[in-house]
Copies of this chain bind each other. A is one copy, B any other.
Amino acid sequence: MKLIEGGVCAAKGFKASGVHCGIRKNKTKRDIALIVSEKKANAAAVYTTNLVKGAPLLVTKSHISDGYAQAIICNSGNANTCNANGIEVAEQMSALLASELGISEKDVVVASTGVIGQPLNLEPIANGIPSLVKELKADGTDNAAEGIMTTDTVKKIVAVEFEIGGKTCRIGGIAKGSGMIHPNMATMLVFITSDVAISTPMLQKALSFDIQNTFNMVSVDGDTSTNDMVTILANGLAGNKEITEENEDYKIFMEALNTVMVQLCRLIAGDGEGATKLLECKVDGAKDIKTAKTVAKSVICSSLLKAAMFGADANWGRVLCAIGYSGADVDVNKIDVSFKSIKGEIAVCKNGAGVEFSEEIAKEILLEKEIDILISLNSGEASSVAWGCDLTYDYVKINGDYRT
């Protein structure tokens, strides 16, 4: 397996585009994106667990209930959520696109991201759809990735190439996510495409499984959004024998999918609102996987620890504190903690108590952009990883006046 260029257009038969249609005032920012497969694809999705669900999610869920989709349309700048006419607008958005593409509106995945509770004006979208379709290109992933950005500062694009049964296959994805990101959700907006032939039930199974260890282990701010969704379209153009059971081919597919999803997780966490650092919390020695996950999530979500990481302060007591209130059943007196970056690794806590360490070396390690928080519970064999970011002045700045 190797990383390749192309994002959502890396897989055979996919084109993408992104244009400015006028939802946002800033005319230099693309605010709507489109991804289209040349043939109908098998489709799977997972959705936010928030009880308040964006209207587009409800419409998408209905559309792909037959297991198929061919196009994905997503606007940024307005979440189309908590609006009296939300469903109607999302359905019209689908219908307009379907008509322009000459496909069924039931084959459209529709998504929106941005501010909640302000009616989404259909007019700019209706005006933008023709050029969105006209702009579709085999190298359009960059424009699509920009079209779905809100407070994101970087485009999140990844693709891999691998072989199944002698056939070259690809999986690629783009993601949007910077704030309102937290575990226990179906996650931020992620669109994944593949040319692998795989049945809809197996596609859903693979996605639902991998989500547990990837997007559900990401937290930027503890707020689970109303509009999170991960969708995957697989059009089968790679020509492999269709995957319909958990065989060797399925394992290869799962590994490739996991690679794409982990990479998107890292991109999302590292680009958390205001973030200066990507934090990776790795827990091992847990008595079971649930304990490992609970501990990793609790630590990655601690505002106090996140602020300490911003300050490159090796305040490991906050790690212990977050483990302690996580609700996980751990033996505090067996916990070891280290901090690690490309500058090296430093042990700060052994058996639940502090060890002497050089604050200077710790500082040097923590001043890097990617920090690993390593926790050994020394009580079993299970492990887990969670991704997050530091808490900074800019997080407050971005969210103190998001709507203006």
A: residues with CB less than 8 A from B are: 49-53, 79, 81-84, 115-119, 179-180, 182, 184-185, 221-226, 301-304, 307-308, 310-311, 313, 315-318, 320-326, 328, 330, 332, 349, 352-354, 391-393, 395-404
Give the contacting residue for A396; candidates B323, B326, B393; CB below 8 A.
B393
Q: From A220, which residue of chain B is reached at the shortest CB distance?
A: B303
Q: Check B221 against A50 for contact (C-beta < 8 Å).
A: no
Knowing A310-B400, A311-B400, A400-B308 are in contact, say whether A52-B180 is a contact too (CB < 8 A). no
- In the bound complex, residues from chain B placing their C-beta under 8 Å from that of A324 are 50-53, 224, 226
A81:B317 contact, CB within 8 angstroms = yes
Q: A252 CB to closest chain B CB, in angstroms?
A: 35
A331 to chain B, nearest CB (A): 9
Q: Which among B117, B318, B401 is the interface contact of A317 at CB below 8 angstroms?
A: B117
Known: A393-B397, A400-B310. A321 touches B353 (CB 8 A): no
A-B pairs, 4 with minimum CB distance: A116-B317, A311-B400, A52-B324, A307-B399
In the complex, what distance in Å separates the CA atom of A202 from the CA atom of B184? 41
Q: Are B302 and A223 in contact (CB under 8 A)?
A: yes
Contact A117 B82 (CB under 8 A): no
Contacts A184-B325, A223-B325, A396-B396 known; 15 new A-B pairs at CB < 8 A? A52-B324, A82-B349, A117-B354, A180-B304, A222-B303, A223-B318, A223-B321, A303-B395, A307-B396, A307-B399, A313-B401, A313-B403, A315-B403, A391-B399, A395-B396
Nearest CB on B from A265, distance (A):
19
